[in-house]
Amino acid sequence: MAQRNLRFQNYTVGWVCALPIELAAAAELLDEEHGDSPQDPNDTNLYTLGRIGEHNTVIACLPAGQIGPGAAAAVAVQMKSKFTAIRFSLMVGIGGGVPSSSSDVRLGDVVISQPFMEHGGVVQYDFGKTGPNGFTRTGFLNTPPTVLLHAVSKLAANHYRGRSKLLMYLSTITRLPRFAYENTGSDILFKSTYNHAGGPTCAGCDKDNTVQRAARESQEVVIHYGTIASGNQVVKDGVTRDQLSGELGGILCFEMEAAGLMNSFPCLVIRGICDYADSHKNNLWQPYAAATAAACAKEIMSIIPASEVTKARTMDDAIEGREG
């Protein structure tokens, strides 16, 4: 048992995902796979262990059919309890994009949580209290660990200089047909007030109600940095999407897990855009979006030297420091 526990102390990076397609993308990017961890009767998680660059990484997925902040928090608590040497973590997967005049978010793009205005990178849009004057949001979610924010700055600088490795990492996943860009379908943004006509695809939707956007010069994945909205409900309405974004000072993406992690499992949230959080939402872009998010996560990890991870405080130390 002591030898087994010692093995767990070698893992300094935690990676959480919500869906099997996200777990598959993450596992494909391991430079070395250590296999699964032995089952622990006191821990219901199943872990995939491996190495990404210099970092021994433990990956866990939410139980099938369970999504949202509560499920994510439960997985994170058990991971942190077993792998006590974890210095920082990532929440990686898919999300619904919020296109606007200031942010040209498109399917397959990646959104990274970053402090902006009064938000620390993630805001729980459905948490608060209701009174005579309506709903008031309360509470504050922590910012990502400083070491990750430094890595985000360097990632952005590398992209400005044309030194991105994202497409190289992405090709590792998209060589598998399920994740290929060619299997995604068209990227069509409908007006927020126009609802889906029905059916599994938008074949019957009126194309006169689409938003006209300039064509991009290439298929290069664009990374956006800013606020991610997290909550307990799936947003599938364009009007609600835009209304919430306006109330929150401009958001880039909706998702359902990060709000359960930020205050007890500080992490950087990385989301590949698979839909526009409207009634036209479907699953066609999910595999490719999961791949772009995972590739971006690997690029961020490649920027951080192992020595910086060793110097960083453990998660419990970091949380205690913020509360003190």
Q: Is residue 321 part of a domain?
A: no
Question: Phi, psi (5° rounding) for residue 32?
Answer: -150, 125
Alpha carbons 80 and 286: distance in angstroms, whole number:
28
Instruction: Give me the pLDDT at residue 127, please.
Output: 77
317 within domain boundaries: no
* pLDDT the model gives residue 193: 97
Residues pairing with 190 in the sheet: 210
Task: Say if 183 falls within a structural domain.
Answer: yes
Would you say the C-alpha torsion 166, 171, 172, 177 has a positive or negative sign? positive
**323 lies in a domain?**
no
Question: Domain for residue 10, yes or no?
Answer: yes
Cα-to-chain-centroid distance, residue 52:
18
Inside any domain, residue 14: yes
| pLDDT attached to residue 308 | 67
Q: Digits of tens for pLDDT over the chain (324 positions)?
A: 434 444 667 899 999 999 999 999 999 999 999 977 777 888 999 999 999 999 999 999 999 999 999 999 999 999 999 999 999 899 999 999 999 999 999 999 999 999 988 888 999 988 766 777 766 676 678 999 999 999 999 999 999 999 999 999 999 999 999 999 999 989 999 999 999 999 988 999 999 999 999 988 877 899 999 999 999 989 999 999 999 999 999 999 999 999 999 998 889 999 999 999 999 999 999 999 999 999 999 999 999 988 766 666 555 565 555 554
The residues that bridge with 195 in the sheet, in sequence order, are: none
Single-letter code of the amino acid located at 191: K
CATH number at residue 254: 3.40.50.1580
- SS3 label, residue 23: helix
Residue 38: predicted pLDDT: 75
- The tokens describing 191, both together, are 């007006």
pLDDT score of 2: 39
The answer to whether position 57 is within a domain reads: yes
- On whether residue 210 sits in a domain, the answer given is yes
Query: Which one, of 136, 154, 125, lies nearest residue 254 by Cα?
Result: 125
Vertex 110, ends 32 and 45: CA angle to 5°? 45
Q: What is the pLDDT of residue 279?
A: 97
Domain that holds residue 256: 2-312
What does the angle CA 68 – CA 72 – CA 74 come to, to the nearest 5 degrees?
125
pLDDT of residue 321: 57
Please report the pLDDT score of residue 74 as a whole number. 95
Domain count, the chain: 1
Please check whether residue 25 is in contact with residue 286, taking contact to mean a CB–CB distance below 8 angstroms. Answer: no
| Identity of the amino acid at 1 | M
| In contact, 285 and 143? CB cutoff 8 Å | no
Contact 22, 179 (CB under 8 A): no
The pTM of the full predicted model, rounded to 2 decimals, is 0.92
User: What beta strand segments (E) does 174-289 contain?
Assistant: 223-226, 228-230, 253-255, 267-275
Q: Which two tokens stand for residue 321?
A: 């420091």
